[in-house]
Structure 1
Amino acid sequence: MSDTPLLRMYRKFLRYPGGRWLFSRAVCFKAPYFGTVKPTFQVLENGRCEATIPDRRSVHNHIGTVHAIALCNLAELCAGVMTDASLPKDMRWIPKGMTVQYLKKAVGTQRGVATPAVPIVSAAAGYELPVNVDVFDPAGERVFNAVITMWLSPKK
């Protein structure tokens, strides 16, 4: 499978100082809502996306931990970017659903890791793709898990 336009763009940005930050801003320009958590992409490859969100007051809840919805934003962002970077050129995608588990208090910078539960392939008909996203705290402990169901279908 050849690289997707998004994956080529990511690799191009990595050649420059601050490339991860610039790529992250470009993604948030295309999908502005994700900019609210100020993500930075750390890894993007076929079948894997890792991004972090910094520990800032604006993502905290009333008890000073990272808010549940900020974690959901990180999960959906990682899942969507991974899917887009891994998708065959004749397919398109859209999120269909999300199931989440809050495993422990999320404190500090959070790192989301998205991987597909099954291989992403071309198909003549649409199909559901479950994407697993684990979120880790600075100590590497898993604090959150999401399974995001993507709907993949042939481009018209």
Structure 2
Amino acid sequence: MGRKDVRDSEQQGTTTESAEAGKENRAPLHKPQDGCTQTHRTESMSIKKEQCEECVKLNEQIVSLKNHVKTLQSSDQAPNDQKNERMEKELTEKCAIQKAIGAKLQKELVEARSKNDELRKALHVLDEQCDKLMVIFIAHCEISLRNY
């Protein structure tokens, strides 16, 4: 037997072992002991689950607890919804007040700018009149000094 023959026989042995392992896999997945869930394989390879009374009761308790949690969550949300609505109303009122104050301040700012422009014009007129009076005063002083 050469190396090739040894390899071929090893591969055939491995293939035979795999086939035997495959046959073993066809055995029931779970041998029923005292467990609550029993699985049986039929010839068509379908799995059938049977639940014991304790599992049924536990599943009912789980469903009941889930429903209770949902109820608690919805009841917790009701006060939160009312609180959120109240806060939204308060914030809306505060926002309206701030908008009114902003509009009033804007109006006062426009009026103040208008008055500022009027005062600036009046100051400019007074400044021009002051310059004219200074020219007249200086001319009068020069005339008085010549006559003295």
Q: Which has the higher contact order (CA 8 A, sep 6+)?
A: 1
TM-score, scaled relative to structure 1: 0.19
Q: Which has the higher strand share?
A: 1
The structure whose residues are more often helix, as a share, is: 2
TM-score w.r.t. structure 2 length?
A: 0.20
Please say which structure displays the higher CA radius of gyration. Answer: 2
